[in-house]
């Protein structure tokens, strides 16, 4: 995990400089495991994100905007009661571990001064955010509860004494010497990086591999020197926040990582680094959990239609034999005199063949010659009639598959609010039943909100993230002479530039959005069509989000997430 003790140490320093002495003005809990504290400090407003997410636990200042629930959760209400209006007296790291404490002083309802500690434990799936009474070391509440049945070492429930996670007897690396490293590492056992992780607190596998890499031919002489040199960088705050990528995987860290041999993108602060690294990741994870049943339903419907398509194509091939049935009927009629009941086949001359070739026709021995001929004429008529029906069914089935492909793509880039609109659409289209609710009153229609972005020259660009949004954007909101964009023959979002004459750069930036919010997000040189909204039409009876267009031009772009982030309108 990249958010190790060293990273926590650096983040603590960053938060101390910005927030100590500041006042907590507002607290929100936008999601089950995340809190956002608004803090006024040194004449500036800050947003502090505290996350106990099982996969994306972290602490940092953020510039992201989060939608808050209509009714705040109980833990949020409790934090507001104990922390809003309080002063942050100190921010500390605990024992060089992934634990940060925020110590506050405030007044209760009757005006008495009270001290509180908000403890953030960044421990992967065991991460937690715990509020304690500093004077009594008693837990007031936590974002996750831990009963004795789950953990015999400690209980995390209101009213219980707070006990920190076990330290496992690891050594603080900032206090280590070369001699300490030599004592803790068995060079004959190998796996030096794993030994460093096991012996010293706050050292992640990522950092341990870097220490070993910097040691070169790691031995008793080089490894301790490499370890101490890295710790000197940490101790003297020579931090270099950066995100690393090799095209397949991404990492982040506070120190240079030469062993990755990956492209590095530097950042001014750790908070900016984490805002960028986690952009969309936690949200997509929440969407995946929220939309799991929806995704499974859509995938099943798509698979059913794909199976149906295979059968329809087989039926179509059979229907294409209609002409052969007609030929057999005519040839039998012309040769009735040569056929006798009980024959299983007959070979006759095909008088339609210029070369006078013969053809063997299967017969039903139970039928008379004329009945065999009539049977083939009936098969011909049936196949001829079914040909048009099957072709129409194939067309509709292909449309269904394309529709479900589009919905699956939309779920990949959806925000939580987008998922509910996709669910509503499936209910309206008759694919899903409406969920039973306790509310007797009819709910008001959900207001459609579009994602807004701003081009380099200040032009507004709107993006639809699902079919409801796409239809609203293209057919109702957009002006006829504004520019509409969509990936060419690829499921994706409708994009509209709110300008009649946008610059080429703005068109390129809008095309990047169209490519990014499409099935081709991970591709390069993605074709994006653009035309004026007046040339975009929705056929009568078409599926939601489906349109046809003309007079388009095509531009090729490679999706750039950094550009999307810069354009996102706060």
How far is it, in rounded angstroms, from Cα 243 to Cα 279? 12
| 277, 250 contact by CB (below 8 A) | yes
Q: What's the length of the chain?
A: 570
Chain segment 240-286, per-residue pLDDT in tens: 999 999 878 899 999 999 999 899 999 999 999 999 999 878 777 77
500-537 burial code (b ≥16 CB/10 A, e <16): eebeeebbbbbbbbbbbbbbbbeeeebbbbbbbbeebe
Chain segment 160-179, per-residue pLDDT in tens: 999 999 878 899 999 999 99
Question: Tokens 């949004």 sit at which residue?
Answer: 469
| Fold adopted by 5-161 | ibrinogen binding protein from staphylococcus aureus fold (2.30.310)
Strands 58-61, 99-107: pairing is unpaired
Per-residue pLDDT at 440: 41
CATH class entry, domain 290-413? mainly alpha
How far is it, in rounded angstroms, from Cα 381 to Cα 383? 6
**Residue 270 backbone dihedrals phi, psi, to 5 degrees:** -65, -35
Percent of the chain with pLDDT over 70: 98
Residue 465 backbone zone (phi > 0: left; psi -120 to 50: alpha; other: beta):
alpha
pTM recorded for the entire structure: 0.75
Q: What is the CA radius of gyration of the chain?
A: 34
Structure tokens at 501: 């004459």
What average pLDDT does the chain have?
A: 91
Instruction: Give residue limits of the domains in the chain.
Output: 5-161, 173-282, 290-413, 451-567
| 542, 549 contact by CB (below 8 A) | no
Query: What average pLDDT does the segment 438-453 reach?
Result: 70
DSSP state letter for 146: B
For the structural domain made of 173-282, what CATH number should be given?
A: 1.10.8.50
Angle of helix 292-319 versus helix 281-290 axis, rounded to 10:
70
| 217, 203 contact by CB (below 8 A) | no
Report the SS3 class of residue 169.
coil
Chain segment 202-244, per-residue pLDDT in tens: 999 999 999 999 998 888 889 999 999 999 999 999 999 999 9
Range in 142-146, 287-291, 336-340, 549-553 with the lowest mean pLDDT: 287-291
Question: E strands within 393-546?
Answer: 451-454, 460-463, 483-487, 495-497, 526-532, 536-537
């Amino acid at each position: 995990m990249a958010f190790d003790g060293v990273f926590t140490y650096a983040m603590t320093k960053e938060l101390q400089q910005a927030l100590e002495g500041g006042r907590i003005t507002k607290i929100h809990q936008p999601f089950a495991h995340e809190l956002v504290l608004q803090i006024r400090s040194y004449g500036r407003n800050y947003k502090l994100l505290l996350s106990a997410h099982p996969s994306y636990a972290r602490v940092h200042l953020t510039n992201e905007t989060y939608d808050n629930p209509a009714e705040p959760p109980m833990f949020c209400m409790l934090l507001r009661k104990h922390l809003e209006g309080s002063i942050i007296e100190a921010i500390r790291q605990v024992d060089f571990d992934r634990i940060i404490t925020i110590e506050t002083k405030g007044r209760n309802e009757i005006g008495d001064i009270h001290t509180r500690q908000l403890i953030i434990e960044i421990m992967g799936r065991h991460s937690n955010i715990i509020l304690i009474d500093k004077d009594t070391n008693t837990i007031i509440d936590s974002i996750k509860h831990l009963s004795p049945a789950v953990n015999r070492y400690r209980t995390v429930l209101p009213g219980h004494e707070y006990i920190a996670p076990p330290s496992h007897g690891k050594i603080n690396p900032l206090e280590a010497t070369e001699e300490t490293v030599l004592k803790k590492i068995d060079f004959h056992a190998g796996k030096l990086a794993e030994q460093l992780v096991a012996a010293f607190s706050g050292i992640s596998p990522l950092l341990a591999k870097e220490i070993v890499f910097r040691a070169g031919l790691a031995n008793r002489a080089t490894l301790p020197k490499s370890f101490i040199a890295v710790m000197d960088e940490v101790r003297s705050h020579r931090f270099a926040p950066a995100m690393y990528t090799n095209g397949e995987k991404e990492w982040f860290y506070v120190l240079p990582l030469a062993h990755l041999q990956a492209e590095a993108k530097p950042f001014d602060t750790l908070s900016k680094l984490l805002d960028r690294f986690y952009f969309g990741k936690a949200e997509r994870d929440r969407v995946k959990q929220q939309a799991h049943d929806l995704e499974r339903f859509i995938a099943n419907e798509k698979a059913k239609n794909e199976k149906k398509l295979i059968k329809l194509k087989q039926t179509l091939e059979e229907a294409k034999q209609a002409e052969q049935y007609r030929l057999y009927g005519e040839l039998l009629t012309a040769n009735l005199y040569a056929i006798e009941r009980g024959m299983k086949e007959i070979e006759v001359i095909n008088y339609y063949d210029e070369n006078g070739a013969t053809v063997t026709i299967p017969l039903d021995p139970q039928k008379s010659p004329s009945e065999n001929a009539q049977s083939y004429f009936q098969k011909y008529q049936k196949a001829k009639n079914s040909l048009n029906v099957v072709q129409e069914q194939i067309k509709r089935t292909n449309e269904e598959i394309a529709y479900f492909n589009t919905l699956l793509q939309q779920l990949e880039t959806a925000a939580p609010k987008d998922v509910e609109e996709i669910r509503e659409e499936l209910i309206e289209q008759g694919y899903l039943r409406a969920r039973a609710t306790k509310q007797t009153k009819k709910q008001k229609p959900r207001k459609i909100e579009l994602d807004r972005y701003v081009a380099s020259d200040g032009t507004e660009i709107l993006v639809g993230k699902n079919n409801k949004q796409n239809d609203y954007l293209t057919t109702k909101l957009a002006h006829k002479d504004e520019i509409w964009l969509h990936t060419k023959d690829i499921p994706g979002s409708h994009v509209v530039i709110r300008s009649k004459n946008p610059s080429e750069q703005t068109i390129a930036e809008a095309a990047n959005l169209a490519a990014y919010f499409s099935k081709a997000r991970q591709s390069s040189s993605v074709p994006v069509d653009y035309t004026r909204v007046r040339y975009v039409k929705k056929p009568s009876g078409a599926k939601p989000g489906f349109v046809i267009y003309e007079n388009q031009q095509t531009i090729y772009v490679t999706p750039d997430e950094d550009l999307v982030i810069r354009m996102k309108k706060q």
